[in-house]
Structure 1
Amino acid sequence: MANTQLLIIDAQNDFCDNTPEGYAPALPVPGAYQDCLRLAQLIEQAGLAIAGVIATLDTHHMIDLAHNSSWLTAEGVAPPPFSRVTAADFLAGRYRLAVTPVSPEQNDYVLNYLQQLEQMQRPFILWPPHCLIGTPGHKLNPELAQALSHWETRTCKPVTLAQKGENIWTESFSALKAVIPDPADQATQLNRALLEILAESDRLLIAGQASSHCVKETISDILQFGAAELKRKLVILTDCMSPISGFEAAVEQFFTELRAQGIRLATSAEMALELVPENNPY
């Protein structure tokens, strides 16, 4: 039987547009809840053909460089979520850290960080605080969590959980590395151990949230840092991921680029039909 691995990126309550009663998601992605239901159904239908599951968890403290609540405008109020901050904004005082007092070293770090992002042609976006440690938003979508628990019971294997994002001074979209790794924090460096696990697969299914950010950057890092043969093993489950609003066109362009590279894009229903015969080990 083929070694099929499933990599689930950040399928957490704070990204779902439907959540447990009484909880308001911090950063809902339109369509994410239905994505989780389809993924849960695939795991229930074809779980015995899945040899291993890795689920990443976006994991943040309240104080975080990329949270809007960690910044102040020139008027002394928190900027709205999704504001974009440039190095010029920072130098001009249009945006400043909300830390009190701010040290010269912190200001120098932030300026250097913003300048590095601009050299990389990346925007710096301020997100609402999300996936905070210890909150319901940090947990996996409950229907998906139930399917994974059932998978563990049936296969007698644990789901591998990988947290990312705890470093408050850098962004961590990809499951493999921070945008700008912190030399003093190994957790922000390229996760070679995870790459090795992925490389051992015969087929690597990828799902999760959001297709425009964490999923996209994880796939990009796999292609950049993974073994060359890993490319032919990828299967992107297009109906088990959705983009953040406003980034739909960028995701379609990314999917077009993946197809041009020979990377397979499929639906969960297509993969279920393909995997179900593999449930029978004889």
Structure 2
Amino acid sequence: MTPRPETSEVVPGALVDDAAIPPWLRALTGNVTAVSDSVNNRGGDRTRIAAMLMSGTKRRTAAVLVLFAGSWDADPDYPGGLPADVEVLLLQRASTLRQHSGQVAFPGGAHDVGESFPVDTALREATEETALDPAGVDVLATLPSFPVPPSGFDVVPVIGYWRNPSDVHAVDPAETAHVARVNLRELLSARSRFQVQRKVLGGSVYKGPAFMVDGLLVWGFTGGLIAAISDAAGWDVPWDHSDVRQLDAAIAAAERSAGVEGSPR
């Protein structure tokens, strides 16, 4: 079998020529380090806390699939050319899981020995979790890896374009509560964006990007990555950075919203 690669061996960047990439994604795939720059320039909270929590621990490799569906052509009237119908594939973890229970995430998981990392890992995990047909996915680029405590993973995001979207659903209810195709403009709109904060390690305050749409609260690694991708791709619209909410209150608000709206996902 192929030896298990370390994330340091993965060279981030575009995997195909620009002609095979939708125009509204080219700013992202052409400068993938801008994503990590955006994370590091948010004030250092996430980077500092992640480094502290994972100091001295053996990190495991994992990959997530950041999958976009929508029109090929850019919208010249929207920042970064983002078309009105672009969606991103997200899922909500089951509330019974030991780690990251109830959180919204990209499909993904740990690398299996013998498979090509990170692309095959991301596609396999997405298929296992959402019943995605990988034949309809064009893999475009890989981003730099990010440490994710407390799970101890170094995660490599894989950017994909859903050329031929297939039906998706939660394959295993013990692992996944919902699968959602979320409109990206709605997710990035000013009414959906804010920040959440909470105390960690008995006193340090975590503060990071968050989004609320369709009863889904997106925060933590996934919220931070979406915010950094939007910044790097030029999709940001003005929003209220001073809107900072306590995480527990935001989670409760999302649960109430999901209960009122039902489960459109």
Q: Could you state the TM-score of these two structures normalised by the residue count of structure 2?
A: 0.31
TM-score with structure 1 length normalisation?
0.30
Question: Relative to total residues, which structure has the larger helix share, 1 or 2?
Answer: 1
Which entry has the higher C-alpha Rg, 1 or 2? Answer: 1
Return the structure number with greater strand share.
2
